[in-house]
Structure 1
Amino acid sequence: MRTAAAVAFCLTGATTAQETHDLEITREFEAPVEAVWNAWSDGDAVRAWWGPRGFTVPVAQMDFRIGGTSLVCMRPPQGPDLCNSWTYSQIVPHERIAFDLDFVDVEGEPVDPAAIGLPPDIPDVVPHLVTFEATDTGGTRMSVLEKGYGSAKTVEMSRMGLEQVLDKMAAYLAE
């Protein structure tokens, strides 16, 4: 069963000397907040839905606590694993998760995003904010905000990947 999706996409310019662009996507799932929350906090769940279509997740080592750092690696159909660390700055159970996504190798050591084939205007660290809200029908409205991209083109690339990730999350939650 496909979940109802309401997608909001926005680009905003920052007030710094270098213009940056943010991405926000809001999706509604036909699952309770607790289930959607657990999809972000449990390693087995993350392995089931993280990554665009065709990607698998061989590593999801979760240290889900304020100050903790999770290591999540996705494997494309061809090519090397692409790994991120998620370092948590805010966790409010069933309400919000704030973390910095860093590009790392399988050992968790930082790598330059451009060196692994990503656009040169992707920052080394991408702040994320994920919020959760119960709907009147018992489902969940979840928003993901990614901040600091260097161009609208890079935001669009991230949006396309995140849409696929959230489609996989919807399928996982429907099981």
Structure 2
Amino acid sequence: MPVTDVTTDAEKLTMTLVADFAAPVERVWAAFTDPRQLERFWGPPGWPATFTEFDHTVGGRARYHMTSPQGERSSGAWEFLMIDEPRRFEVIDGFVDSDGAAADGMPSMRMTYEFEVTESGTRMINVTYFDSVEALEQLTAMGMVEGSTMAMNQLDIVLEGLRAYAQGKGTRTELLDDTHVRITRLIEGPREFVWRAHNEPELMRQWLLGPDGWVMTDCVIAAAAGDSYRTAWAPVDGTEGEAFGFEGEALLVEAPRRMVTTERMTGVDGPGTVNDLSLDEEDGATLLTLLIEYPSRELRDMILATGMTDGMEASYARMEKELVR
């Protein structure tokens, strides 16, 4: 992971984050000064960022919001104080309301980003300066250290490029913590089509089948937040297994970029999962990222042990081979 150290200093009222990237300084600088690239790593997993304003000049302003799987928003703004391309920039970062005004009860911070040349690429040193011990304690209690670490650990994917990161590597499963799993798969095709393949029943019935020998028997789509969905499968041609299905509700739908749903197996009591699907396109290919939140480590391990990743790979390979055009 790129982040190598995060420390807080109550006497100096600072938080310092250090990360090393295998990319030139100019490439790292470009990622921090292009809002479309920033959106791919600025928010931690589950809270992706959307930049709605970006004036990268001294005195200029950037505005963004991060959206949770449940649709909650946390909004912020930068004011650029100093820019020394490609080595250093400095901003005032603060929480804002929907109109862009400073949010009541929330502190602002001065932040510096420095980019140093190393033998392997670039070292980034990010220092956050707080106005008081209370502000430092308030934001660290809100998870600033963990959130910043997870966000910056996503930057290496952006720097590497989607094809170099994921092409030819199939479906990959990462355990982020006891209850969160991240699944990634590069699809050779445009984002709009991959979105359609997840949201049009006639397309879903052609690829979302897992291993050969199964057919989708039910497919009801959740087109908007609050809608319910259900899917079901059954074995054919003597394939072993019993029919099963899933059902749930859409929590967030932002076509063609993101969709968040709850999921539980039909007819099974107890808590289910929250599935956060996001699609990023680059050079005609789409990186599919599925962040799954489980209610417990035990359920996570039980579901992964069913061969879920292999079944997903069979489906994604089928989509890529038979549908993408």
Which protein, 1 or 2, shows the higher relative CO under an 8 Å CA cutoff with sep ≥ 6? Answer: 1
- Aligned counterpart for 1:104 among listed residues 52, 75, 96: 96
Query: What's the secondary structure of 1:48's corresponding residue?
Result: coil
* Among candidates 7, 10, 13, match of residue 9 of structure 1: 7
In the superposition, relative to structure 1, how do residues 129 and 78 fare at CA in structure 2: closer, same or farther (>3 Å)? same
Q: CA deviation at 1:38?
A: 1.1
Once the two structures are TM-superposed, the CA of residue 71 in structure 1 deviates from its matched residue by 0.5
Pair 1:140 & 2:138 matched: no
- Higher mean C-alpha deviation, range 74-83 or range 30-39: 74-83
Q: Deviations over 1:6-44 (max 9, x none)?
A: 214241414xxxxxx310011001111111111111111
The structural deviation recorded for 1:152 is 4.5
Query: Which residue of the other structure, out of 93, 114, 132, is the alignment partner of 1:131?
Result: 114
Quick check: which has more Rg, 1 or 2? 2
CA pair 154-109 structure 1, distance change in 2 beyond 3 A:
closer
1:80 Cα deviation from its structure 2 partner: 2.4
Instruction: Give the AA of the match of 2:124.
Output: M
Are the aligned partners of 2:6 and 2:145 in contact in 1 as well (CA < 8 Å)?
A: no
Normalization by structure 2: what TM-score?
A: 0.45
What residue ranges of structure 2 are gaps of 5+ in the alignment?
Answer: 162-325
> Contact 2:6 / 2:15 at 8 angstroms: preserved in 1?
no
Deviation string, structure 1 residues 81-140 (Cα, Å, up to 9, x no partner): 21111001110001111000021123312212x4xxxxxxx52x1110010011123x11
1:166 aligns with 2:166: no
Alpha-carbon distance between aligned partners in 1 of 2:11 and 2:155, rounded to the nearest angstrom? 29
Q: Distance in 2 between matches of 1:5 and 1:163?
A: 6
Which residue of structure 2 aligns with residue 69 of structure 1? 61
Unaligned stretches of 5+ residues in structure 1 = 15-20, 115-121
Determine the C-alpha separation between the residues in 1 that align with 2:32 and 2:118: 19
- Secondary structure in structure 2 of the residue aligned to 1:34: helix
Cα offsets for 1:126-164 (capped at 9, x unmatched): 110010011123x11001111115245743621111001
Mapping for residues 11-50 of structure 1, pairs under 5 Å: 11-14=9-12, 21-50=13-42
| Contact 2:2 2:152 survives alignment (8 Å) | no
Shift of 1:5: 4.1
Report the Cα distance in structure 1 between the residues aligned to 2:139 and 2:73, rounded to whole angstroms.
20
Say if 1:106 and 1:31 are closer, same or farther in 2 by CA, change over 3 A.
Answer: farther
Q: 1:36-64 deviations in whole A, cap 9, x for unaligned?
A: 11111111111111111111223342111
Partner of 2:223: none
Higher strand share: 2
Hey, what's the Cα distance between the residues in 2 that align with 1:56 and 1:6?
A: 22
Conservation of the 8 A alpha-carbon contact between 2:79 and 2:92: yes
What TM-score does the superposition give when structure 1 sets the normalisation length? 0.81
Q: Hey, what does 1:80 align to over in structure 2?
A: 72
- State the AA in 2 paired with 1:6: T
Structure 1 contact 55–77 (Cα < 8 Å) conserved: yes
Counterpart of 1:155 (choices 131, 134, 140) is 140
